Structure 1
Amino acid sequence: MSVPEEAGWRRLSARMLVIHPFQEVVRAAPALIGLLFAGSSGGGGGHLWSLGAVAVVVLLGMLRWFTTTYRVTPEHVQVRKGLLHRKVVTVPRDRVRTVDVTSNILHRVFGLARVEVGTGRSDRKRGGELRLDALTAAEAAGLRVELLHRRDAGATASPVLSSASPGAAEFPGAAAAVGTGGEETELAVLRPSWIAFGPFTLSGLVAVGVIAGFVSRLASEGNVDLRKLGPVRHSWDWLGAQSPALAVATVVVVLALFVGLASTIGYLLAFWGFRLTRHTGGTLHVTRGLVTTRATTIEERRMRGVELSEPLLLRAVRGARVIAITTGLRVGQGAQRGGSMLLPPAPRAAAEAVARTVLRGAPEPSPVTAPLRSHGRAALRRRFTRALGVHALIVAIFFIPWEWSDLAAWPWLTAVAVLPLTAVIAADRYRGLGHAIASGHLVSRWGSLVRRRVALECDGVIGWTVERSFFQRRAGLVTLTATTAAGRQGYAVQDVELPEALRLATQGSPGLLDPFLVPAPGTAPGAVSAGPAPAAPLGQG
């Protein structure tokens, strides 16, 4: 038995010796191909240089197994890694908030999975994350249950493995861990009709960017001129022979079709087999993925609310998605990548039902569907003033060069023609504003291109910030931000009057602001105004 094993340290699965070198080679493929072309064109034996580079990459990938060990103690989860620079990452077990188990196609072939343990620290710079890549699927499922489905007394006995528990179907060949002996209740499952929402997510734009970047880098490394390729040259020549309007329309239609198709494929790859369940041990469990399967477990007691997100195109077809507001998830990298998505793009009615079910502790009226208060005429004027002011500046930028030179007139004429669209966007942004205190939750709604409705538990608010820009002061408006340790760490109620902002803050956190508020003269009991001294939780900006 090795020394690490005697001390309680364990190694990752030896099967990763096959996966990691392959992953490193794929990641370095453009540079390796460029090295091959460069060496061959210069007569310097490019294939030998490429083979040497591949050998180095494979060696670096194998060293990760020899230098990485981990252990789970009753108090901590520890990972020790590094060769020249030795590093030990320690996470207290009571700080574990989420466990994310991912298995891509290579992992699934070898029966492996990657485990990421999320903590309550901010993860925008990956400061609160502990990763184990890779464990066997059975070890990953067992570790997930051991860390999150632990007994209140802190018992740390190894979980029992059973094929009847969640996780057995997620990773082929893995037995699932059910150390708590609990059961699961299914809250949502992917419906075939939901796939129709795929083209309206515009995730295909990311695929277009990735493909374009990869092809560009590959051509640059290999010193290849794409314009000399037959299909590219013929397409460019055909577009050049058409009228500008027809050429632009053709490009837009082709791009729209490709983005729609790529978005649908991306939806299937990301959310095939989606299933949201609630475990009696106090966790929510999300499984999804076609090629790469992913299982995310969230402690419900760490959740502070939900967010209904409606991008413009998705909102046009009455669709929405549900995002968890909780600690330990990578919200800075997006809900889908970070694992905080509780429901993929689906009908809005289904999204509202799932959000209400997740917030089971909230009485009626539900924060998800409760009516909201509008923000008044001052907020409406501010929306139109900002939109039309920026639009007028753009028109002036195009008009002045045309007036004093021989430049074409179509830029400023086009800017004037789209003025009604600017007004429509301003009106839609105002319609998106709303707020309320409902069933112990602060509810805020905002946005046009992406409309968001957030229901945040008032008990999860740790502070309030009131900000006023120069133009907001002129309009008598403020932005009230509820600070929390979950999700984006701050959720704003935009452009409300100061008395209304203070009412929300005092109602959301009773007694917190009393030392900084005084009764407003000539008003009914309970009405307040800002005191003469600046309030610490109400940092004026």
Structure 2
Amino acid sequence: MSTPQTPYAPEDGWRRLDPRTVLVTALVVAGVVAGAAVPATLGLARWLGLPGAVLWALAAAVGIIGVAAGADRVRWHRTRYRIGAERVDLHTGLLLVKRRSLARERIRTVDLTANLLLRLLGLVTVRIGTGEHGGDSTLELDPVTRAEGERLRLLLLERATTPQPGEHRDGELATLDPRWIRYAPVSFVAPMLGGAAVGAVMQISEWVGAQGEVIAWVGDRFQETPLLWVIVTLVAAALAAGVVGALGLWIEMWWNYRLEREPGGTIRVRRGLFTSRSISVEEARLRGVDLVEPLGVRLVGAARLDAITTGLAQDNESKNADHNTVLPAVPRPLADSVAAAILREEATPTGAPLTRHPRAARGRRLRWSLAAALAPVLVLTLLGALLTPVLLWIALGCAVVFLPLAVALALDAYRNLGHALSGRYLVTRSGTLRRSTAALERAGVIGWTVKQSYFQRRAGLLTLTATTAAGGGAYSAYDTDAAEGLTFAAEAVPGLLEPFLERDVRPGP
């Protein structure tokens, strides 16, 4: 089928990026320059006067924008890509020419991303990846038209389909429910954003030379307030700012969310308010799911769902982009049902009954947790005895707060331990601040690592780690009973561990 020729689609099969990339670069640089021009102009006005400072700032802005747009025009002119029958080629560079090529059979992901400016212009950034480590495993086309991006995604992910077990339909698996936003404030993101907000206020006030005034203003507001209430009020204000930030971040990341299975065996996630993202997971590369429950989210009965898959987000830029998350924090029953639908199972492996671990595992957690809580208390006690009694009172306060908390977390960590076999999957669960229930396809296990420390050996425990090419690469069952754990590993992947096992053979009568 012939395609209409355009100035950036040459007849020899090589194509160029969309020429509006120059406009995008100019507008982005103009926004950055405008933000920097205001303080620069105010600074220059002290020596040149306001009119002279404005003229110098305008001249510098025009020069910077012109240089950036010109450089991007050269990049556009020197960048070409081609989709061949067996390879995808990308040539770019002026002084340092790069010629990169990926075999189509190794391509695992084709992700489309578009910030607000690209969306307004009908453009997207296409990232083509093989899932291997390093930047050389990913080709980036920035930008192309949305129609071209969709064409590339469908073309490069096209595979000879193989029948999948189960009867789950193609089409929509989950779509956004605005009520899910209630789980955003209970995540660890809220206090982190609150702390970042306080740090930003102090840093900006220092830049403009007003940090002293800010501290004095806060001091005046709480001049007659006891110190304890001052701390409580400031922490509450920071948490409130963090909650607002967490709500805004959730809306930006998950608005317009849609999870679907496309014909041909591809799981696709689309989401984003200002920056739209389209992430595709080849179903043949899916090795399981990970049900993740951070403590705050778990306390309100919710969980999020991550995909355990090969060839997803392994390059340096994508590692921290939540590319493996296929479902945000939602009610736990819904997360289980979506996991079953993704895996084409009638009952989700993440809900399978788990084998409890021995009580010796509880003792290990209590000892480690109490040791971590007592360490700062002992240090403060020693320093208080040598320096000032104030540190003794601080040590007492830390002991009153941290010791019960350490015991509670240790007991919760023990209750969360478990493992099981559920059909085609082995299931492991662990964690307290971040509880993880991983359902890993048994056929995806490529090895076992058995660890047993001196203290574990005395307690009759060991840690089993299933290694795989998917997801995090390793999924562990911590502190299992030694005999039961080895039997579990041997049954999970028959033939893999047997050559290393010594079984008791009792003579007959």
Q: Same fold (TM over 0.5)?
A: yes
Select which of 60, 84, 89 maps to 1:73: 84
Q: Structure 1's 333 and 407: CA in aligned 2 closer, same or farther, altered over 3 A?
A: farther
Q: Structure 1's 128 and 334: CA in aligned 2 closer, same or farther, altered over 3 A?
A: closer
Contact kept in structure 2, 1:30 and 1:218, CA below 8 Å: no
Q: Deviations over 1:510-529 (max 9, x none)?
A: 112232223224499xxxxx
Work out the CA distance in 2 between the residues paired with 1:129 and 1:293: 20
Q: Deviations over 1:127-167 (max 9, x none)?
A: 532221111011011111111134469xxxxxxxxxxxxxx
Q: Does 1:457 align with 2:462?
A: no
Point out the more displaced range, 233-242 or 34-43: 34-43
Select which of 355, 362, 382 maps to 1:373: 355
Give the letter aligned to residue 141 of structure 1. Answer: E
Work out the CA distance in 2 between the residues paired with 1:462 and 1:269: 38
Work out the CA distance in 1 between the residues paired with 2:142 and 2:228: 52
1:336, CA displacement in angstroms?
Answer: 7.9
Q: Does 1:22 align with 2:27?
A: yes
Work out the CA distance in 2 between the residues paired with 1:344 and 1:38: 46
1:470, CA displacement in angstroms?
Answer: 4.7
SS at match of 2:479: strand
Q: Does 1:479 align with 2:488?
A: no
Work out the CA distance in 2 between the residues paired with 1:272 and 1:226: 38
Q: Deviations over 1:66-113 (max 9, x none)?
A: 332211111112222223222222221111212211111101110001
Task: Give the count of matched residue pairs.
Answer: 488
Work out the CA distance in 1 between the residues paired with 2:433 and 2:226: 32
Contact kept in structure 1, 2:30 and 2:61, CA below 8 Å: no
Work out the CA distance in 1 between the residues paired with 2:74 and 2:251: 35
1:250, CA displacement in angstroms?
Answer: 0.6
Work out the CA distance in 2 between the residues paired with 1:57 and 1:302: 40
SS at match of 2:117: helix
Q: Structure 1's 205 and 402: CA in aligned 2 closer, same or farther, altered over 3 A?
A: closer
Contact kept in structure 1, 2:417 and 2:478, CA below 8 Å: yes
Q: Structure 1's 381 and 87: CA in aligned 2 closer, same or farther, altered over 3 A?
A: same
Work out the CA distance in 1 between the residues paired with 2:33 and 2:407: 48
Work out the CA distance in 2 between the residues paired with 1:109 and 1:423: 54
Task: Kindly report the root-mean-square deviation, in angstroms, between the aligned alpha carbons of the 2 structures.
Answer: 3.0
SS at match of 2:355: coil
Q: Does 1:135 align with 2:119?
A: no
1:40, CA displacement in angstroms?
Answer: 5.2
Point out the more displaced range, 125-134 or 264-273: 125-134
1:26, CA displacement in angstroms?
Answer: 4.8
Give the letter aligned to residue 281 of structure 1. Answer: G
Aligned 1:378-457 pairs, distance under 5 A: 378-408=360-390, 409-418=392-401, 419-457=403-441
SS at match of 1:254: helix
Could you say which residue in structure 2 is the equivalent of 1:12? 17
Q: Structure 1's 338 and 116: CA in aligned 2 closer, same or farther, altered over 3 A?
A: farther
Point out the more displaced range, 271-280 or 500-509: 500-509
Aligned 1:256-271 pairs, distance under 5 A: 256-271=239-254
Could you say which residue in structure 1 is the equivalent of 2:166? none
Q: Does 1:101 align with 2:87?
A: no
Contact kept in structure 2, 1:436 and 1:443, CA below 8 Å: yes
Contact kept in structure 2, 1:432 and 1:447, CA below 8 Å: yes
Work out the CA distance in 1 between the residues paired with 2:30 and 2:360: 58
Aligned 1:271-310 pairs, distance under 5 A: 271-310=254-293
Contact kept in structure 2, 1:120 and 1:485, CA below 8 Å: no
Select which of 93, 96, 102 maps to 1:91: 102
1:10, CA displacement in angstroms?
Answer: 1.1
SS at match of 2:249: helix
Contact kept in structure 1, 2:327 and 2:335, CA below 8 Å: yes
Work out the CA distance in 1 between the residues paired with 2:103 and 2:196: 38
Could you say which residue in structure 1 is the equivalent of 2:497? 513
Point out the more displaced range, 30-39 or 415-424: 30-39
Work out the CA distance in 2 between the residues paired with 1:133 and 1:523: 71
Q: Does 1:354 align with 2:338?
A: yes
Q: Deviations over 1:492-532 (max 9, x none)?
A: 111223323322221122112232223224499xxxxxxxx
TM-score by length of 2: 0.87
Contact kept in structure 1, 2:8 and 2:17, CA below 8 Å: no
1:118, CA displacement in angstroms?
Answer: 2.7
Q: Structure 1's 26 and 432: CA in aligned 2 closer, same or farther, altered over 3 A?
A: farther
Give the letter aligned to residue 407 of structure 2. Answer: A
Could you say which residue in structure 2 is the equivalent of 1:536? none
Q: Does 1:340 align with 2:324?
A: yes
Work out the CA distance in 1 between the residues paired with 2:117 and 2:99: 28
Give the letter aligned to residue 352 of structure 2. Answer: A
Contact kept in structure 2, 1:24 and 1:57, CA below 8 Å: yes
Work out the CA distance in 1 between the residues paired with 2:459 and 2:336: 34
Q: Structure 1's 338 and 150: CA in aligned 2 closer, same or farther, altered over 3 A?
A: same
Give the letter aligned to residue 137 of structure 1. Answer: R
Aligned 1:116-265 pairs, distance under 5 A: 116-122=127-133, 125-151=134-160, 184-205=170-191, 207-208=193-194, 223-228=207-212, 233-239=216-222, 241-265=224-248
Point out the more displaced range, 319-328 or 80-89: 80-89
Contact kept in structure 2, 1:201 and 1:345, CA below 8 Å: no
Q: Structure 1's 478 and 37: CA in aligned 2 closer, same or farther, altered over 3 A?
A: farther
1:449, CA displacement in angstroms?
Answer: 0.8
Select which of 318, 332, 343 maps to 2:301: 318
Contact kept in structure 1, 2:174 and 2:260, CA below 8 Å: yes
1:35, CA displacement in angstroms?
Answer: 5.5
Could you say which residue in structure 1 is the equivalent of 2:165? none
Q: Structure 1's 516 and 202: CA in aligned 2 closer, same or farther, altered over 3 A?
A: closer
Point out the more displaced range, 344-353 or 52-61: 52-61
Give the letter aligned to residue 376 of structure 1. Answer: P
Work out the CA distance in 1 between the residues paired with 2:481 and 2:37: 60
SS at match of 2:311: coil
Q: Report the identity percentage.
A: 36
Work out the CA distance in 2 between the residues paired with 1:389 and 1:337: 35
1:22, CA displacement in angstroms?
Answer: 3.1
Q: Structure 1's 440 and 241: CA in aligned 2 closer, same or farther, altered over 3 A?
A: same
SS at match of 2:349: coil
More helix by share: 2
Give the letter aligned to residue 181 of structure 2. Answer: I
Work out the CA distance in 2 between the residues paired with 1:116 and 1:468: 42
SS at match of 2:496: coil
Contact kept in structure 2, 1:433 and 1:445, CA below 8 Å: yes
Give the letter aligned to residue 187 of structure 2. Answer: T
Q: Deviations over 1:424-467 (max 9, x none)?
A: 01101111111111112110111111111000001011111122
